[in-house]
Chains A and B, each alone.
Chain A
Amino acid sequence: MKITVEHRDVPENEIVLRCRELDDEMLHVLSLLRSGMQTICGWTEDKQMVFLRPGEVLYAESVDNRTWLYCEDTVRRTALTLAELESRYEALGFCRVSRSMVVNLHGIRQPKSCAGSRIEATMRNGEKVMISRHYGPLLRERLGM
């Protein structure tokens, strides 16, 4: 596939995909572009709506049937359930690590193996997240182990 980047004085950035037909390669590029444009709707404590890029979210946790999104230094609430977060953003690295938690694999700085197939993940902001024995194998599978 030929990739061309043109530098022009345009009012808005634009991406044009030129192809004879939508093959697997182009569909993959499209899905990547679409997922990159996706945002997660959340809100702050004072009910102010914010849109987060999935990459900003380190992990999501469900507490008392409420889902919280943990970013580097902020916590937002979202209406999405953990299952929805996992299914919508799986391609972007979201992975279920316990019954009450979904982790963004790109937000992990360092994983550490613990006895009993459990994994302790240190996130980019230094927080530690424990990946349960039940979900450890799923994480390993996502990492291609």
Chain B
Amino acid sequence: MKQFLRFYYWGMEVKLYMSLYTTALVVFQGITEALQGRFAVNVWIMLEMLLVSFAFAAIQYAVLPAGQWSSKGWLAAWVACANVLYIGGALVFGWFPGVPLWGDIVLIAILEISLWAIWFGEQVACWRDTRALNRSLRKFQQEA
């Protein structure tokens, strides 16, 4: 039962991030297609994006489990995995056909900014929570 619950929790976490990453990929694939006058997204490409996102979410769960976001080494490993999987996936599976070189550079820049934004979001959440914790602790200590 304990093993099942652990697996279930793992599934919940991985599915959440897999969905987020897949949605972002599909949105950008849709934008690049629309800019080229095509208004359809290939089902196989979506499936490939889903599988790559699943792999990345599983790696993220392994290298950055809850509480490890401040570890620089694991953070670097996470960034490296994201670059290898998503840039590699785009090259191997041809996710963005017809996109010129400058478009590829923009997409890579968006990937890097998105990774930074995920990390920054974690930091902001921690800062806000730290402030709230300190306020509540002072109140508790003064009331006693």
Contacts and interface: CB of A to CB of B under 8 A. Distances in A.
Interface string A3-33: 0000000000000000000000000000000
Nearest to A144: B136
Nearest to A133: B66
A143 B130 contact: no
A114 interface: yes
Interface string B108-144: 0000000000000010011101101110110111001
Contact of A118 (B67, B139, B141, B144): B67
A143 B140 contact: yes
A115 B137 contact: no
Contacts of A2: none
Given A105-B140, A105-B141, A111 B134 contact: yes
A142 B67 contact: no
Contacts of B65: 116
A36 to B, nearest CB: 11
Interface string B58-69: 000000011111
Contacts of A117: 66
Given A145-B132, A145-B133, A115 B126 contact: yes
Interface string A75-115: 00000000000000000110000000000011010111111
A100 B2 CA distance: 21
B126 A113 contact: yes
B92 to A, nearest CB: 32
Interface of B is mostly: helix
Given A105-B141, A143-B140, A115 B133 contact: no
Contacts of A142: 140
A93 B139 CA distance: 13
Nearest to A143: B136
Given A105-B141, A106-B144, A114-B70, A119 B133 contact: yes
A119 B67 CA distance: 9
A140 to B, nearest CB: 8
Contacts of A119: 133
A145 B139 CA distance: 11
Interface of A: 92-93, 105-106, 108, 110-119, 133, 140, 142-145
Interface of B: 65-70, 122, 125-127, 129-130, 132-134, 136-137, 139-141, 144
Given A105-B141, A115-B69, A116-B66, 8 more contacts: A93-B140, A111-B134, A113-B130, A115-B67, A115-B122, A116-B65, A133-B67, A145-B136
